[in-house]
Amino acid sequence: MIRESIVITTDKKNNVHVAPMGIIFKKKYIIISPFVPSQTYSNLKEYPYAVINFTDDVKIFSDCILGKKKFKIKPTKKIKSFYLQETLSYFEVKVSKYYQDSIRPRFNCKIINETMRKPFKGFNRAQAAVIEGAILISRLKILPLKKIKKELQYLQIAVDKTAGSNEKIAWTKLMKKIK
């Protein structure tokens, strides 16, 4: 199963990188599989720890895709890293195995600590649409523009019917990027 999350990695100098990423869940570990080249990949190779944030604030997903670099963060409990201040919960993880691949290597990670901060009250369809829209925008250089626009047009229906203010803000930012 893949769960959309916000992954925070750091390099040895403690420089923070925040990125949206689908994380693969297995029975006893999780897999982070970033593209090469990417800052997430470089950071995990240099410092084999990460923080996986679970949030229902879709503005964070859109802001990451659109290049925002600074987010409100706090230090974690068990590893030398950070979590998003507005996250619902997060995992602190350590890379236990690395599988080389020229496009998407895999970092199998052991969960060191799990922290619950706020209750999850469920997604609405607009939140899912914004996350899917952010994923599509992140693939502007690898998918045909016509396909992306068609899928965004369909996702617009969920945004129009169910969005709250956060979802409307995030969606508007993504639509400005596509134009």
In this predicted structure, what is the pLDDT of residue 69? Answer: 87
Largest CA distance in the chain: 46
Domains of the chain: total: 2
Give the percent of the chain with pLDDT over 70: 100
Provide the mean pLDDT of the chain: 95
Which domain covers residue 171, as residue numbers? 125-178
Residue 39 has pLDDT above 90, yes or no: yes
pLDDT tens for residues 4-37?
999 999 999 999 999 999 999 998 899 999 999 9
For the residues 97-111, what does the mean pLDDT come to?
97
Residues 19 and 45 in one domain: yes
What would the DSSP string read from start to end of 46-114?
A: HS-EEEEEE-S-HHHHHHHHTT-----EEE-SSSS-EEETT-SEEEEEEEEEEE--SS--EEEEEEEEE
In this predicted structure, what is the pLDDT of residue 24? Answer: 96
Q: Kind of pairing, strands 89-99 and 2-10?
A: unpaired
CA proximity to 135, closest of 53, 39, 66: 66
Asked which of 78, 94, 116 is the last residue of a domain, the reply is 116
In this predicted structure, what is the pLDDT of residue 122? Answer: 83
Residues 15 and 102 in one domain: yes
Residue 89 has pLDDT above 90, yes or no: yes
pLDDT tens for residues 142-171?
899 999 999 999 999 999 999 999 999 999
Residue 53 has pLDDT above 90, yes or no: yes
Phi-psi region of 122 (alpha: psi -120 to 50; beta: other; left: phi over 0): left
